[in-house]
A = this chain, B = another copy of it.
Amino acid sequence: MSLRDRNRRAAMRAIQDAALDLFEERGFDAVSVEDVAAAAGASPSTVYRRFGTKERLVLHDEQDARLDAELVRALGSLDRDAPLAALGDAFVAAFEDLDPAELALQRRRGALVDAEPALAAALVAEIDHGREELAGGLRAALRRARTELECDVLARVAFAAFIAGFEAWQRAWPSGSLPRMIRRAFDAAERVTGG
């Protein structure tokens, strides 16, 4: 990672921090992107260049890369007889050993998303994009063992369990462990299907 990249990350963190402060204080709707830019000592142009949309000021997450990597890894060596369990392992692994500061940031963002329908909508749309990529990967990895429809359903169920676990963790905050909650959600998924 070059020096430029590091600078960019630092700048984005500063802007996101300023944005979260303002949103928590006044509410998402009552704060304009211009306000955020001013508070962060940047121009609106820069904010848009970095984050693209107002919603991504909240949703942007450096941690996402880790989940991607875990899922790619899981796809590489996938147990064809228990694919959901394997995907569950990947999600759990992606959220294990998280920095407490990172965990608090997750919680902070989650609280805003809960309070703001516009953020919830944007988050769901983003997640759906990741879900689609996973479905593609599963189709490739399970070409022989499963139908296209099964791969699609599998990807959906996996993300369904993940999100359910994440939200259960948020409801239980500050007690409870995120990876453990995700694990429990995957277990629940196996329990509620098939009677």
Q: List A residues 137-195 near B (Cβ within 8 Å).
A: 146-150, 152-154, 156-157, 159-161, 163-165, 167-168, 184-185, 188-195
| Segment of A12-20, A26-34, A63-71, A79-87 in the binding face | A79-87
The A interface is mostly helix, strand or loop, or mixed, namely helix
Number of residues of chain A lying within 8 A (CB) of chain B = 39
Q: Quick one: closest B residue to A118, CB to CB? A: B125
Per assembly, the copies of the chain total: 2
Contact with A156, one of B85, B147, B164, B191 (Cβ below 8 angstroms): B164
Known: A120-B128, A121-B125, A125-B124. A83 touches B192 (CB 8 A): yes
16 A-B pairs with CB atoms under 8 Å apart are A81-B195, A83-B192, A85-B195, A120-B128, A121-B121, A121-B128, A148-B168, A149-B164, A149-B168, A150-B188, A156-B157, A156-B160, A156-B164, A159-B160, A189-B193, A193-B193
